[in-house]
Structure 1
């Protein structure tokens, strides 16, 4: 293979399912490049990545880990993305800023389905990616079966770049299918070239032919050579691999052991020769090659001591410390290695750095003015889990809201809203996702909070009409209070809301007091007999009387409340439960389990069908009470190897009676008594 000229700085994201070994692979790549002298271990908390206390406490990545290094004279930035689906927003955002992704997975066919969502995201956006099958030294590895299972969940053909050399059960090296050379692993060093074992020559020849045939699907000249039994030059094969990878036509497959330094140098060299550079990536994203300096913000962090940091990929031009961009001054340019920031004067095309003090700039923003043709940024993931939060210390509500707003800026899949009952509700991707957010509230913002389940927005209505009289009369010296109303209360069809009708004739209730009657009724309806808002009823003011001196707005408002308080319990009130239309997405093997989950949560299955654009996946459509949604995502993921998910919209209100309704009313009564 011809020598390669150094390229501009390039960036790769390490992605894949939880426990695949991405953080260990980052350590191995840093060791291979000389950036570190000793490989850290997750179990003893010595890795470059996962330096945050929330990550160390859980032995898992909870945010992207960024490290820049050099290898054979070239600059590389690796972004180790969290494997847990609860933190996949960070991974999706990072993928928009890299030249290629390394999908890291285990050699277990049963876990291949866990790779499907990330492969789908990569293919939808044509992001070049390759597979690294990690832990190949584990006992009982089944590489061929694993690749067959992975191919079933990949829209692109998987192309093996090497085959393993085994000694007994152990994988001790590999045969490169392009150069047709064999290598033996040497931990801590580059692999040693050896002769191809005689027993593997037939397998190697067949595997190489299969690789070439895949490449020939995208190269007519190579196809002609194969048909004429001409062995293509090695440089031609490498060129095809690089071109097809850049266009997301193929997925090259490598294997090794990140923890034991197997296959790492081989992987690094493949990245060096085949991963596209920043100009190719910018073109893929629709960024014009010339123009003012341009960068994308793929992550923001509010650090305790340095303030806000905006992590960016520079596409063109240069950015320097103190430079004003879009009206904001850059307060420092930093090269990142894990949790360590090294100040640098400027950053140019291809570099991944952090800018300080760009407080108004959000994740997903383009610095320097957006290009008209730029690819759209991934939308924030819809929330799947929620908790109501409140400051433990009185007077800290404003501080809490501000801190949560900052965390939502860092991670757009966190959402903050004010619930219907005055609650502050934090929504996210799962239980661990929100636990990490709450831990950050404590460690970064010194905020102690109490949490509970959000209140389900039940409503209540009536099933019977009634006429009722309300009188408020009070004499306490001087002007008294007098208001007198006759009301008709009647049910309305579902979804009608509240209607107030004025049928006063002859001035028995003066015009100026009628709005006060309506306000009094509306205030009562905010909390009906069961403690929830009342809907779908009409209240008609039919008659009344007044006093020329003692009547007032407040008196008629009070009279209306008295009438409603007396009349509503006689209208056969009933609780209304919010029902959601839920679409559950799962691999077809788990469809029956998804249906059982729905049935076990008082749900109504509406049907299921193949998921459009997802081979081997189904969607289950159902009605589910909102009260049953609290931990739905937890159960769904536990039964589908973490890949099941759902979306939902409010659909209708439905009457709820019996023991379930009685329990809801009793719990609401206790809440109101304690508030």
Structure 2
């Protein structure tokens, strides 16, 4: 079986392309994943084919990345409007990072939305590979009625519901065809010395030789050929499928590429797992592409026995199903297989770095509808994070509530639907509370005596403490300068412990940071003093001093790296300023053409607003990662509102 992925932005007709390709020579079989990945099996040219239709939203980019792990080649579906080229930037980025041979298909050419050369020029801004036009459109007024193949120099007229008709090259496109063909040959000659000689000698190379060179350079991932059509009318589908059949490399090339990336012996690389999902009453289903022989139920794969092997098209399973090299199959009761991963018979190997999805930007607390579901929710989210690498599961600091980081609102909605429909866990979501701290603005001293008599031995401890602000980032410090044994040495650790306990919650209700405490005097009693008494005296004394030390609210500030296509960089200065952030600058992204990395300091309470603004400003393409940088003071009405809300939340709990 030969396998390819069709991917690209939403509304570019990917699913229609797959449907039309699968129907060229028969009836395709289709199966779907809850995550939006569709698998279509069909026959073309007496060969078995599998098309992976990757979901279009940028929030599902991880599933498109993982599908490339199992693909000999891919089709990148793009719009025929030049201004929409930027929407393809994330897909060009992951395709080039993966090393997957790609054919770019400009779809919906029946809708005149701009010149093809402008579309290619706009897309080239985001591709390191040369985008090499293989066809030009034939126009009749404002309509595109056919295409001209630049290698065979044949023209075809589109016919609704039928294969295209061969026609003579119209005079109106002859000059453009000659110009585009010359450009095609010039680019191909960069990868073939024989062709370069032919062009230098002004000899016309035969079409068969040009097709062979095109096939080789695509297999070697040297260029990205560009074809055109309109899938909804069936236009260009036969040409696209023939290009895949004759020019896409066989499965052995994929096996070699993955073995190199994973530092695995090619002969031992048996399969690759690339997608997984959970089904009600069935459990985890893993999609696998076989590279080796003998992968039947019970065979050793990934260090353990392979569970039931299923035909993904009809869902039937059995010990008689033995996938051949190149086949895609599903397996259940194979929970030991991580996804995605490279698989040998005895081990699982981590996938290449390029499969790492974008950092999730949306953080929410999931609240179960009943107490009964609390433990179940934690276990279920752990399972789901194993099959969805775009999802990160954590616990909220302080409350221990289930915190999830999702790619965006659509991803979060799909997660909640899966919890409800598959696992019968109803949840609501809320914003997590930003992690605030407090400190003091001025030093103070306190004298605190703890005395308690309850019969028998009493409790006595007397401490004199100075409390002062520390420089930012230094945290809590403790020192002692007592003389003459007024506080015995064995009680001083208890004084420090009491001071640390007082830092757990300050007068504003938050953890106290960047404060220094010094024990400089005190008294003890030979009978009634104890570690417990000095610990209590220290804790109560420090609390009193903190309340007198002009408490200041501290907000977290994060260093953010925002990844965006360069055309959006200018808008980020205004966005960051509106969020009371600080612009640090930006650089070109050396790993992706046409992208910038924009750096800024963003208050923790504004990160959710940053995610919304970024999605809006970049049409859902931009994303950011964050690392904690420091705490800074927050004053005024905003600080008062936060303290008040925190106090009300504490009362409610």
TM-score normalized with structure 2 length: 0.92
Match of 2:328 in 1: 352
How far apart, in 1, do the equivalents of 2:582 and 2:273 lie? 43
Match of 1:603 in 2: 581
Q: 1:554 to 1:30 in 2, by over 3 A?
A: farther
Output one character per residue of 1:459-504: Cα deviation in whole Å (capped at 9) or x when no partner. Answer: 1111222221334444455665544433221221111111233445
2:281 to 301, 305, 321: 305
- Asked if 1:409 corresponds to 2:383, the answer is no
1:319 to 291, 295, 299: 295
On the 8 A contact 1:178/1:238 being kept in 2, the answer is: yes
Q: 1:170 to 1:36 in 2, by over 3 A?
A: farther
1:200 to 147, 170, 173: 173
- Deviation, 1:421, is 2.0
Residue 558 of structure 2: SS of its match in structure 1? strand
- Deviation, 1:87, is 1.4
Match of 2:499 in 1: 521
- Asked if 1:234 corresponds to 2:207, the answer is yes
How far apart, in 2, do the equivalents of 1:498 and 1:374 lie? 42
- Deviation, 1:76, is 1.4
Residue 232 of structure 2: SS of its match in structure 1? coil
How far apart, in 2, do the equivalents of 1:647 and 1:293 lie? 33
Match of 1:19 in 2: 11
- Asked if 1:35 corresponds to 2:9, the answer is no
Alignment of 1:568-607 (within 5 A): 568-607=546-585
On the 8 A contact 2:310/2:331 being kept in 1, the answer is: yes
Output one character per residue of 1:563-590: Cα deviation in whole Å (capped at 9) or x when no partner. Answer: 1222112112211121122232333332
- Asked if 1:144 corresponds to 2:121, the answer is no
How far apart, in 1, do the equivalents of 2:280 and 2:391 lie? 20
On the 8 A contact 1:383/1:429 being kept in 2, the answer is: yes
Match of 2:196 in 1: 223
How far apart, in 1, do the equivalents of 2:300 and 2:449 lie? 68
- Asked if 1:367 corresponds to 2:343, the answer is yes
How far apart, in 2, do the equivalents of 1:440 and 1:534 lie? 40
On the 8 A contact 2:28/2:40 being kept in 1, the answer is: no
Residue 178 of structure 1: SS of its match in structure 2? coil
Match of 1:330 in 2: 306
- Asked if 1:273 corresponds to 2:273, the answer is no
Match of 2:368 in 1: 391
- Deviation, 1:112, is 0.6
On the 8 A contact 1:68/1:335 being kept in 2, the answer is: no
Output one character per residue of 1:366-395: Cα deviation in whole Å (capped at 9) or x when no partner. Answer: 221569998556234323221122222114
Off by >6 Å, runs of 4+ in structure 1: 370-374
Q: 1:371 to 1:235 in 2, by over 3 A?
A: farther
On the 8 A contact 2:337/2:348 being kept in 1, the answer is: no
Moved more, 26-35 or 349-358: 26-35
How far apart, in 2, do the equivalents of 1:511 and 1:521 lie? 16
Output one character per residue of 1:150-181: Cα deviation in whole Å (capped at 9) or x when no partner. Answer: 22322212222222233443333322222222
Residue 583 of structure 1: SS of its match in structure 2? strand
Residue 316 of structure 1: SS of its match in structure 2? coil
Q: 1:279 to 1:202 in 2, by over 3 A?
A: same
Match of 1:89 in 2: 62
- Deviation, 1:289, is 7.8
Residue 226 of structure 1: SS of its match in structure 2? helix
Output one character per residue of 1:342-369: Cα deviation in whole Å (capped at 9) or x when no partner. Answer: 4361222212222222213211322215
Moved more, 502-511 or 446-455: 502-511
Residue 509 of structure 2: SS of its match in structure 1? coil
Match of 1:282 in 2: 255
How far apart, in 2, do the equivalents of 1:431 and 1:98 lie? 29
Moved more, 616-625 or 507-516: 507-516
Q: 1:578 to 1:147 in 2, by over 3 A?
A: same
Residue 190 of structure 1: SS of its match in structure 2? strand
How far apart, in 2, do the equivalents of 1:173 and 1:115 lie? 25
Output one character per residue of 1:423-452: Cα deviation in whole Å (capped at 9) or x when no partner. Answer: 321112222222221221112211122321
Output one character per residue of 1:574-617: Cα deviation in whole Å (capped at 9) or x when no partner. Answer: 11121122232333332221110011010122233433354444
TM-score normalized with structure 1 length: 0.89
How far apart, in 2, do the equivalents of 1:128 and 1:327 lie? 31
How far apart, in 2, do the equivalents of 1:587 and 1:293 lie? 36
Match of 1:184 in 2: 157
Moved more, 366-375 or 77-86: 366-375
On the 8 A contact 2:366/2:427 being kept in 1, the answer is: yes
Q: 1:246 to 1:421 in 2, by over 3 A?
A: same
Q: 1:604 to 1:282 in 2, by over 3 A?
A: same
Residue 445 of structure 1: SS of its match in structure 2? coil
- Deviation, 1:33, is 4.0
User: Unpaired segments of 5 or more residues in structure 2?
Assistant: none
Residue 80 of structure 2: SS of its match in structure 1? coil
- Asked if 1:122 corresponds to 2:111, the answer is no
Residue 163 of structure 2: SS of its match in structure 1? coil
On the 8 A contact 2:94/2:354 being kept in 1, the answer is: no
Match of 1:296 in 2: 272
Match of 2:317 in 1: 343
Match of 1:43 in 2: none
Residue 398 of structure 1: SS of its match in structure 2? helix
2:235 to 250, 258, 262: 262
Q: 1:551 to 1:660 in 2, by over 3 A?
A: same
Residue 191 of structure 2: SS of its match in structure 1? coil
User: Unpaired segments of 5 or more residues in structure 1?
Assistant: 1-8, 38-47, 53-61
Q: Size of the alignment, in residue pairs?
A: 646
Output one character per residue of 1:627-662: Cα deviation in whole Å (capped at 9) or x when no partner. Answer: 111131221121123322323222222111122211
On the 8 A contact 1:28/1:264 being kept in 2, the answer is: yes
How far apart, in 2, do the equivalents of 1:361 and 1:171 lie? 49
Alignment of 1:68-107 (within 5 A): 68-107=41-80
Alignment of 1:635-654 (within 5 A): 635-654=613-632
Residue 11 of structure 2: SS of its match in structure 1? coil
Residue 336 of structure 1: SS of its match in structure 2? coil
On the 8 A contact 1:308/1:356 being kept in 2, the answer is: yes
Match of 1:153 in 2: 126
Match of 1:59 in 2: none
How far apart, in 2, do the equivalents of 1:416 and 1:142 lie? 46
On the 8 A contact 2:341/2:349 being kept in 1, the answer is: no
Q: 1:326 to 1:618 in 2, by over 3 A?
A: closer
